[in-house]
C-alpha cells in the first residue's frame, strides 16, 4: 500500500548533537514533500517543503531536508539541536490529488 | 497564510452523545480538510469538504458517523456522532491557502475530545 514511513519513532538527544530524521514514501510520480513540527501544546507548523529544483531545502530554525528521488526519501536534518527543538515531527506527502498524507511522526526529546 | 479558529478547544463527552466541532477561516478557501490524531499516533485524513457539495470521506470513515457541513467558503463543521471511548482523539481542521500547496497546509489548533 502507498504510505509515508518515518522509521524513528522516538529520538533522544543532548543539546548540540546532530539530528537526522528519516522519511520515506512509496508513491510514484510527482509529489510535494513537507515536514511539519508540533511543539508541546501547540498546533502543527510548517517547517519546510520541497516542490522542485534544488533537492536540498532549507527551512526555519536551522532545519534542512534533502530529497533523494531514487531512494524516495526526504530526510530532515539539523547540525546542532537545542532544547527548544523538543517536539513531534511529521513528514507529509502531497500526491497531487489534494490530499496531504502524514507519516507516523517522530517524537524528539532534547536534554540540556 | 490563513488563520484558522477551531472550537471547542477541548471537551469531555458522555458516550452515545454527539459533538460538533467548528472551523472558521479568516479567508475564503475552496477545500477544507478534517483530520484525526489519535493518542500517540499520526494524523489521519477523515474527509475533504468542498463548499456546495458533499464531503468526500476516506476509507474507514462514513458520513453517518462524521457528518460534515460546509455552508460557505470560510466555515465548516465536523460532528462526531454516537461517540464511544475509541473516538477520543484530537480533531484538526486544515485548509490549503490560495488553492495551492506552495505555502503548505495550514492547521487549526485542534479539538481535544475525551469520551467517557
Does pLDDT of A70 surpass 70? Answer: yes
What is the pLDDT, as a whole number, of residue A98?
Answer: 63
Grid cell 547540525 is found at A79
Average pLDDT, integer, range B75-90: 96
Pairwise CB contact (< 8 Å): B43 & A102: yes
CA distance to A18, A44, B73, B89, per residue, from A35 (Å) = 17, 10, 27, 22
A98 part of contact set with chain B, CB < 8 Å = yes
pLDDT band for position B99 (50/70/90)?
A: low
**So what's the pLDDT on residue B52?**
81
Grouping H, G, I as helix, E, B as strand and the rest as coil, residue A101 is: strand
Q: Nearest CA of chain B to the CA of A104: how many Å? A: 5
pLDDT tens digit sequence for A5-39: 998 899 999 999 999 999 999 887 888 899 999 99
**Angle, CA of B112, B113 and B116, to the nearest 5°:** 145
pLDDT for B8: 96
**Angstrom distance (rounded) from CA A50 to CA A34:** 6
Rounded average pLDDT over A50-74: 94
Amino acid at each position: 500500500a502507498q504510505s509515508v514511513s518515518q522509521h524513528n519513532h522516538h529520538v533522544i538527544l543532548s543539546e548540540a548533537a546532530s539530528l537526522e530524521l528519516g522519511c520515506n514514501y512509496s508513491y510514484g510520480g510527482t509529489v510535494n514533500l513537507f515536514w511539519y513540527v508540533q511543539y508541546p501544546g501547540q498546533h502543527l507548523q510548517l517547517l519546510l517543503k520541497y516542490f522542485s529544483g534544488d533537492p536540498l531545502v532549507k527551512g526555519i530554525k536551522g532545519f534542512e531536508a534533502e530529497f533523494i528521488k531514487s531512494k524516495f526519501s526526504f530526510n530532515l536534518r539539523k547540525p546542532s539541536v537545542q532544547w527548544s527543538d523538543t517536539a513531534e515531527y511529521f513528514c507529509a506527502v502531497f500526491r497531487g490529488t489534494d490530499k496531504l498524507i502524514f507519516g507516523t511522526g517522530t517524537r524528539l526529546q532534547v536534554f540540556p | 497564510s490563513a488563520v484558522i479558529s477551531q472550537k471547542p478547544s477541548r471537551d469531555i463527552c458522555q458516550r452515545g452523545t454527539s459533538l460538533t466541532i467548528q472551523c472558521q477561516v479568516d479567508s475564503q478557501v475552496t477545500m477544507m480538510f478534517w483530520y484525526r490524531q489519535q493518542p500517540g499516533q499520526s494524523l489521519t485524513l477523515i474527509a475533504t469538504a468542498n463548499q456546495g457539495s458533499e464531503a468526500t470521506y476516506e476509507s474507514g470513515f462514513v458520513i453517518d458517523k462524521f457528518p460534515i457541513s460546509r455552508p460557505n467558503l470560510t466555515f465548516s463543521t465536523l460532528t462526531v456522532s454516537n461517540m464511544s471511548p475509541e473516538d477520543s482523539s484530537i480533531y484538526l481542521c486544515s485548509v490549503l491557502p490560495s488553492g495551492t500547496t506552495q505555502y503548505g497546509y495550514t492547521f487549526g489548533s485542534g479539538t481535544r475530545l475525551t469520551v467517557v
